[in-house]
Structure 1
């Protein structure tokens, strides 16, 4: 049986994942809705605020360590290092 802390972390991770859905909706769904430009102009910021609130609620639930690890994955230096390793690995295969 999972403890309360583990359940809260899972809920937090779920909220972080769900927070990306409004971004996808803005890019893929909102432009094609039969709404006026003014309605779309109101919908986009509302979805952005919703996504941010959900993300930060999830971040509060998962804790500082997980958020720091998450930030590391989106650090450009870290991504560049991973890309160089991937290139080296694929070069060796050829």
Structure 2
């Protein structure tokens, strides 16, 4: 069950990436205006469902991976 939760968390980042491609789609502006909030809303729902499934302990363990300071330090150490 935890694998499903972690999968939902990882898949929730895909709609955020897809939002960057929306301006280049061959659809009307009105459709684009509807598509962006739908993508962002679905990303949030998937993310929070994943958090609910994996539980607080697992979410806090992986939380530091998404911390920009932690990632920046990791990048800086790899280039030294």
- Classify the TM-score, shorter chain: 0.7 to 0.9
In structure 2, the partner of 1:71 is 63
Larger Rg: 1
In structure 2, the gaps of 5 or more residues are: none
3, 14, 28: which one pairs with 2:7? 14
- 1:17–1:76 CA distance, 2 compared to 1 (3 A): closer
In structure 2, the partner of 1:44 is 36
Which gives a bigger RCO, structure 1 or 2 (Cα 8 Å, sep 6+)? 2
In structure 1, the gaps of 5 or more residues are: 1-7, 89-94
**What TM-score do the two structures reach when normalised by structure 1?**
0.73
Secondary structure of the corresponding residue to residue 27 of structure 2: coil
Detail structure 1 runs of 4+ shifted over 4 Å in the superposition.
Answer: none
Please give the root-mean-square deviation of Cα atoms over the aligned residues, in Å. Answer: 1.5
**What TM-score do the two structures reach when normalised by structure 2?**
0.83
